[in-house]
Chain A
């Protein structure tokens, strides 16, 4: 059983560009959460998707947007990239009816903005 997969693994962009990161949840999981982990910091919650809707959102600007598809996979889009958006972006999925203790993290996408 594959765990949470994320693509790409690494990405380099320049300021002002737009980026799309992708996440496929673990089999049997229907909820996807995204986190940003800046260098030397703990992960920060960006938003969570369930039934193709954004259910919760952290303290991130509207430049950060997302989408969830019928197969439960998800995308994170960031517009007008800033140098400060350089970070490891983690996707986590949760099974149907599961609580936070069942959240399973992917390996992350490392984004570098130059």
Chain B
């Protein structure tokens, strides 16, 4: 089984500042890692994914994340945030070769302040 811990439930940051949303996972098998974004009253949108290869992955809207196997982390970063980035962000994990079940963290609310 897998588990995901998102270390910060809320992250306020000023517009144009950098941000890092932290995610740690636990698994006894190899995993795929994901970040999703959820805007108010909407479903989930995939931001980026790590499947294999380069540990630095780039996603949509200028976000990137780095997979660190030794620290079992997959932190999400953006060098300069915008007001429109205000949303809930979820880290998720799936065992490789699984039947596509995702295990999510509890989410981090990113609020970008003017």
A: residues with CB less than 8 A from B are: 4, 31, 33, 35, 40-45, 48, 50, 55-56, 58, 90, 92, 94, 98-101, 103, 105-108
Contacts and interface: CB of A to CB of B under 8 A. Distances in A.
Contacts, number: 70
Interface string B99-112: 11111111100000
A90 B43 contact: yes
Contacts of A107: 42-43
Nearest to B102: A100
A90 B32 CA distance: 21
Contacts of A90: 43-44
Contacts of B49: 101
Given A43-B44, A101-B32, A106-B43, A31 B100 contact: yes
Contacts of A43: 44, 90, 102, 104
Given A99-B32, A107-B43, A50 B102 contact: no
B101 A45 contact: yes
A45 B93 CA distance: 12
B107 A41 contact: yes
A64 B32 CA distance: 28
Interface of B: 4, 6, 32, 34, 36, 42-46, 49, 51, 90, 92, 94, 98-107
B107 A99 contact: no
A9 to B, nearest CB: 9
A114 B40 CA distance: 23
B34 A41 contact: no
B101 A100 contact: yes
Contacts of A35: 102, 104
B24 to A, nearest CB: 14
A43 B92 CA distance: 10
A100 B107 CA distance: 19
